[in-house]
């Protein structure tokens, strides 16, 4: 299996958000209140977010197995991972790690920054630790969304 990661095209936005929603509902929704689930859904269906993507203020990268999108990661404010989701059939196959490495290289080379942050969902905390992130604060809750703030610094 050869996974490729590249910037997502405008017409791939809906597929990426559908992947995020499907994966969130399968693996993360149980950790959230109804308010948190609605907050997440509102975020990924927000037209402002899509417009930010179209004008280049919100980067979206996708992982593909052939022509099938199997993972996605997004970046806001140059250094913050906003979304990271991998299709359940591709969990534990290195797709998430490839997406993280791609975004870290992008942040370092294209944005000239030496760190990346994320607000990790409870389901993803162990994964982020395995790929070099450290907690920067205890778990927090905002609008029903539970997360642990984390950072990865690279040299």
Instruction: Look at the domain 3-153 and name its fold.
Output: Aminopeptidase (3.40.630)
Interval 12-63: pLDDT, tens? 999 999 999 999 999 999 989 999 999 999 999 999 999 999 998 899 999 9
Give domain limits for the chain.
3-153
Residue environment code for 80-117, b if the CB has 16+ CB neighbours within 10 A, otherwise e: ebbbbbbbeebeebebbebbbebbbebbbeeeeeeebb
Interval 98-133: pLDDT, tens? 999 999 999 999 989 999 999 999 999 999 999 999
Put simply, whether the predicted model's pTM sits higher than 0.85 gets the answer: yes
């Amino acid at each position: 299996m050869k996974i490729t990661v590249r910037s997502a095209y405008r017409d791939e936005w809906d597929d990426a958000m559908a992947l995020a929603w499907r994966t969130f509902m399968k693996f993360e929704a149980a950790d959230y209140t109804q308010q948190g689930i609605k907050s997440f859904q509102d975020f990924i269906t927000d037209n402002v977010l899509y417009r930010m993507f179209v004008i280049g203020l919100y980067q979206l990268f996708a992982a593909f197995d052939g022509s099938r999108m199997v993972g996605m990661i997004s970046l806001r404010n140059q250094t913050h991972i906003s979304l990271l989701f991998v299709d359940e059939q591709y969990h534990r196959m290195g797709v998430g790690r490839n997406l993280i490495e791609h975004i870290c290289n992008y942040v370092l080379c294209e944005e000239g920054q030496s760190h990346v942050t994320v607000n990790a969902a409870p389901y993803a905390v162990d994964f982020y630790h395995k790929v070099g992130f450290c907690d920067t604060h205890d778990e927090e809750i905002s609008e029903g969304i539970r997360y642990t703030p984390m950072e990865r610094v690279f040299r």
